[in-house]
Amino acid sequence: MKKLFLGILVVSMLAATLLGCTPKPAPVVKYKVGMVTDAGTIDDKSFNQGTWEGIQKAATDMDLDIKYLKPAGTTEAHYITEIDNLVAAGYKFIVTPGFKFETTIFAAQTKHKDSKFVLIDGSPHAGDWTSVVGNNTVSIFFAEHESGFLAGVAAAQQIKTGEFGFIGGMEIPPVQKFNWGFQQGIAYANKNFGTSITMKEENVIYEGSFERIEAGQQLAATMYDNGVKAIFAAAGGVGIGVIQEAVARAEAGKEAWVIGVDVDQYAAGIYGTKQDKSVILTSAMKYIDQAAYDMIKAEKAGTFPGGKTLTFDAKNNGIGIPKTNPNLSAEIQASVATVFAKLKDGSLVVAAVQGDLIK
């Protein structure tokens, strides 16, 4: 009955004690910045990637030692384990992308008082949604509705008539706000620029995850088959599936557009024999990279806004659509720039709530 019990246990514990003397702290030369990824991979062409690119840019500019860790699961315990690992390895400036880190950062900001945390798209709380932003934490939000709005205005003007669709990841506030803003943007274009774009209720779908590429592909296929011309995919890996489906269709000579999210996803949608075309019409961007970069820069300059909640929106150039995209004409870019200016000066307000919009 001793079986494995003694066997493996002895070996692994032995190995642990033999090999596992306290780790030697690496000589502190460079400032260390760490990141813990959310569900999905580092190259998700979305949230994780955007955050990481900002950190990488900061590393180049400010000569940092950077590292990201990928948790084994998506629970608070998994996340905090990785934060502990980063802290133990001397990475005491930690950026975490996504609302899923809210309770984690709440615990971490108390547990590791000497470390600093940047929580993108969320605010620390104990599970009761009462925000407690510690002095060593900055909470960052984006005006996704404004970003979605701009993308909606741009896409509607380019396609002019037809149906649009929306595929979201999980039904969570940032994704919902993209959706609502997008719908308002289409309505704005229909009203002010004479376009005629419609959205049907069945073409607004939250897939429920940010990972399942194949599910995105299937949902997109259904929508395109039902006559949808362009899909706004705010869905991480699921969105990658949407893009893949659109690429397959475009390769076959059919019309299929995607509006990207979070970062400029133009490159993800490239197709054609010369690889000179892309199905990405435009992207509703959150300058996550900028946010991450700015926070690191502030920390290096000794002006880390600990304890504050920051919102990145049109006013501080925290959102927008890519300045260049061959799929959009110069006039449309100019028109969007005008709308952006109105958002910036406050003469145009996009609602961040559902109201009578779809889902």
Partner 1 sequence: MRIKLSKDSILSLVAVILGLTAGAILMRLTGNSPIEGYRYLFSGGAMNIERIGNTLATATPLIFTGLAVAFAFKTGLFNIGASGQMLMGGLGATAVGLTLAWPKPILLTVMMLVALFAGGLWGAIPGWLKAKFNVHEVVASIMMNWIAFWTVYYAVPAYFKGPFLETESRRLPSSASLKVPWLTNLFQGSYINLGIFIAIATIIIIAFILDRTTLGYELKAVGHNKHAAQASGINVNQRIVLSMAIAGALAGLGGASFYVGFASNMQIGVLPSQGFDGMAVALLAANSPWGVFSGSIFFGILHTGKGFMNAMTNIPPEIADTIIATIIYFAATSVLVERLWVRLKKKKILRFLEKSDVGAGGGE
Can residue 124 be called a binding residue for partner 1 (CB under 8 A)?
Answer: no
Exactly one of 73, 194, 227, 272 binds partner 1 (CB under 8 A); which one? 73
Span from 13-21, 147-155, 216-224, 272-280 in contact with partner 1 (CB under 8 A): 13-21
Euclidean distance between CA atoms 280 and 257, whole angstroms: 6
Angle at 79 between CA 77 and CA 81, to 5 degrees: 70
Look up tokens 């100019």; give the residue: 334
Dihedral pair phi/psi, residue 340, rounded to 5°: -55, -40
Can residue 71 be called a binding residue for partner 1 (CB under 8 A)?
Answer: yes
Give the H or E element holding residue 31: strand 31-36
Can residue 42 be called a binding residue for partner 1 (CB under 8 A)?
Answer: yes
Exactly one of 62, 172, 298, 310 binds partner 1 (CB under 8 A); which one? 172
Exactly one of 62, 74, 162, 357 binds partner 1 (CB under 8 A); which one? 74
Burial class for 324, CB neighbours closer than 10 Å (0-12, 13-18, 19+): exposed
- Report in angstroms how near the CB of residue 264 gets to partner 1 at its nearest: 24
Exactly one of 128, 201, 331, 356 binds partner 1 (CB under 8 A); which one? 128
Residue list 202-221, contact with partner 1 (CB under 8 A): 206, 208-209, 211
Euclidean distance between CA atoms 258 and 268, whole angstroms: 10
Exactly one of 85, 222, 316, 327 binds partner 1 (CB under 8 A); which one? 85
Cβ atoms within 10 Å of 354's Cβ, excluding its own: 13
- Secondary structure (3-state) at 190: helix
Cβ atoms within 10 Å of 243's Cβ, excluding its own: 27
Strands 270-271 and 277-278: antiparallel
Contacts (Cβ under 8 Å, ≥6 apart) of 133: 123, 124, 139, 307, 308, 309
Exactly one of 23, 253, 326, 355 binds partner 1 (CB under 8 A); which one? 23
Q: Measuring CA to CA, how many Å separate 45 from each of 94, 107, 225, 282?
A: 21, 29, 26, 14
Sheet containing strand 309-312, strands side by side: 64-69, 31-36, 93-97, 116-120, 137-142, 309-312
Can residue 37 be called a binding residue for partner 1 (CB under 8 A)?
Answer: yes
Can residue 171 be called a binding residue for partner 1 (CB under 8 A)?
Answer: yes
Which residue, 20 or 253, is less far from partner 1 as judged by CB?
20
Exactly one of 30, 60, 77, 342 binds partner 1 (CB under 8 A); which one? 77
Name the region of 180 (left: φ>0; alpha: ψ -120 to 50; beta: rest).
alpha
- Report in angstroms how near the CB of residue 350 gets to partner 1 at its nearest: 20
Span from 16-24, 54-62, 138-146, 151-159 in contact with partner 1 (CB under 8 A): 16-24
How many chain residues bind partner 1 (CB under 8 A)? 58
- Report in angstroms how near the CB of residue 4 gets to partner 1 at its nearest: 4
Exactly one of 59, 89, 132, 351 binds partner 1 (CB under 8 A); which one? 89
Can residue 353 be called a binding residue for partner 1 (CB under 8 A)?
Answer: no
Which residue, 68 or 266, is less far from partner 1 as judged by CB?
68
Which residue, 211 or 262, is less far from partner 1 as judged by CB?
211
Exactly one of 55, 58, 69, 219 binds partner 1 (CB under 8 A); which one? 69
Whether the CB-CB separation of 292 and 328 falls below 8 Å is answered with no
* Interacting residue ranges for partner 1, rule: CB under 8 A: 1-9, 11-13, 15-17, 19-23, 26, 34, 37, 41-42, 67-77, 81-82, 84-86, 88-89, 91, 99, 103, 111, 127-129, 170-173, 206, 208-209, 211
